[in-house]
Structure 1
Amino acid sequence: MQTRTKIGIGLTAAVLAAGITAIPVSRQRTGGGQGVAAFREARAFAVSSELRQIDGPYGLLLGDSQMERLYLPELCGHPAVNAAIAGTRISGLRAVAGWLELPRPPEAIVVTIGTNDLTQRQRSGQLGAAEQFRAEARALFADLVPRARRVVATAVPPFDAGRPGVTKFYDVAAAPAYSAILSEECARAGCRFVDAFADLRDAAGMGRSPDGVHLGLDSAARDRIAARLQTAACPELPVHAR
């Protein structure tokens, strides 16, 4: 009975930690810990079960809350499974990817990551944070590329630096450098890089963000993001079929 209680408390803490990460609040948590790891492993187990229920080709979406919030039921004309988890940093994403059991190689894997690696806690609290991010990115893409027909990585989504609290909790100025790292390491591994959020980086696009950190998504914004992702993930398809 005590064991069950401890597990329940741990999973509840993990859910809360994952849910509040990437939102500028005073109790922000972006770390790991046994509870968070258990939650991510359980999520990977659930996604693996979902993948086994799909007959034929499929796509896989990986990342943090930016990807988790994106409604993209199809990719390249095939079902797309969203395995993103709020609060994930690049090191956590490597763990999730390792836990996933793919029934067969997906047609495409799309990765959006980096927002939680840009928290001030991660940037200022660790020496060589950018170098560590690069090493994790290199290892992540090296792991993913052999497992899929094509891997696509996106730029880090935009921040609205003018919103109260955003620059207090995030190193916004470092975002372009982290996107460049993703681009370089993606190219090194043989995957494709795209700024799927290009038209959301202007004042109008950032103004639609609910908190200055997450994307301001509606059906039109979703369709533009999806079009860019599918151009990168399935360039062989006719434009009308993407």
Structure 2
Amino acid sequence: MRKRKLIWAGLVAVILVAGLAAFLGIRQRAGGNGQGVAAFREARAFAVSGVLRQLPGPYGLLLGDSQIERLYLPVLCGRPVVNAGIAGTRIAGLRAVAGWLELPRPPETIVVTIGTNDLTRRQRSGHPDAAEHFRAEARALFAELVPRARMVVATAVPPFDAARPGVTRFYDAAAAPAYSAILSEECARAGCRFVDAFADLRDPASLGRSPDGVHLGLDVAARDAVASRLEAAACPERAAQGR
């Protein structure tokens, strides 16, 4: 009996190790080539679509990169929110994700935060038309999203702490205002609302709370400030009455 238990324990260990190896292999492939990344995004969109089908009434939807993925915002304008943010996403990838999502009915609000990964040196250096490419993708994204929701809100690109070692080595932080302006212009063209939801996080003290100089330094107070600005854009009547 003892020998049989040892054999079964060994088999379970082998299965767990094999499963972990397969998982890590998938993670490495997803980070190492475009097909893997696209497959991961499609799988994420499939999972989010499943969550959306479980919501019984009006809802909000968050779209974007890790900046929005890290934001805990379970309710917006008094309605439940589903977070469909995906770390590492650029604006072209976000268009693909939006296309894969199966919306059971139009969201009350779609919030879009994008641009951080489009500002990497890899995307910017040696590509003089990078900003115009970003504009074309933004124009197409908003044109696709606006008919699918009652309200689309786009945010400015979140702040960088350019003084932090290494940030400007990997990101063209100086171009962030120009990319935010593009998002504002293309959002207005499509008929959505633009807001700098992160305006309260751009001062030196707030930038210093960022874990890496790129991602937002979020706590309860910072989250509430972001939510307040989003609600002012998405449901001004409710925001005026107090949350």
Q: With the length of structure 2 as denominator, give the TM-score of the two structures.
A: 0.88
2:193 corresponding residue in structure 1 = 192
Partner of 2:204: 203
Q: Is 2:231–2:239's contact at 8 Å kept on the other side of the alignment?
A: no
1:88-237, aligned counterparts within 5 Å?
88-237=89-238
1:13 and 2:14 aligned: no
Measure the CA separation in 1 of the matches of 2:149 and 2:170: 35
The residue aligned with 1:20 is none
Give the drift of 1:126: 2.5
Q: Please, what is the CA RMSD of the aligned residues?
A: 1.9
Q: Which has the higher contact order (CA 8 A, sep 6+)?
A: 1
Q: Distance in 1 between matches of 2:162 and 2:37?
A: 28
Aligned partner of 2:210: which letter? S
- Counterpart Cα distance in 2 of 1:241 and 1:37: 41
Q: Residue by residue, what CA displacement relative to the aligned partner does 1:215-234 show, whole Å, maximum 9, x if unpaired?
A: 00000000000000011011
* Structure 1 residues 206 and 126, CA gap change in structure 2 (3 angstroms): same
- Runs of 4+ in structure 1 off by over 6 angstroms are none
CA shift for structure 1 position 239: 3.0
Residue aligned with 2:238, SS: coil
| Aligned partners of 1:118 and 1:175 also within 8 Å | yes
In structure 1, what is the Cα distance between the partners aligned to 2:35 and 2:208?
37
One-letter amino acid matched to 1:207: G
Matched, 1:42 2:57: no
Q: Tell me if the contact between 1:14 and 1:39 (Cα under 8 Å) persists in the aligned partners.
A: no
Give yes or no for contact 2:228–2:239 (8 Å, CA) kept in 1. no
Larger radius of gyration: 2
CA displacement, residues 104-152 of structure 1 (integer Å, 9 cap, x when unaligned): 0000000000000000000014230000000000000000000000000
Q: Cα distance, 1:179 vs. partner?
A: 0.2
* Fraction of identical pairs, as percent: 79
1:21-40 matches, within 5 Å, as 33-40=34-41
**Structure 2 unmatched runs, 5+:** 1-18
Letter in 2 for 1:185: E
Contact 2:53–2:104, Cα closer than 8 Å, also in 1: yes
Counterpart of 2:14 in structure 1 is none
For residues 8 and 208 of structure 1, what CA distance do their matches in structure 2 show?
Answer: 33
State the Cα distance separating 1:241 from its structure 2 match: 5.1
Is the Cα contact below 8 Å between 1:10 and 1:35 reproduced in 2? no
Does structure 2 conserve the Cα–Cα contact (< 8 Å) formed by 1:77 and 1:241?
Answer: no
Q: Deviations over 1:64-91 (max 9, x none)?
A: 0000000000011010000000000000
TM-score (norm 1): 0.88
| Equivalent pair of 1:51/1:102 in contact (CA under 8 Å) | yes
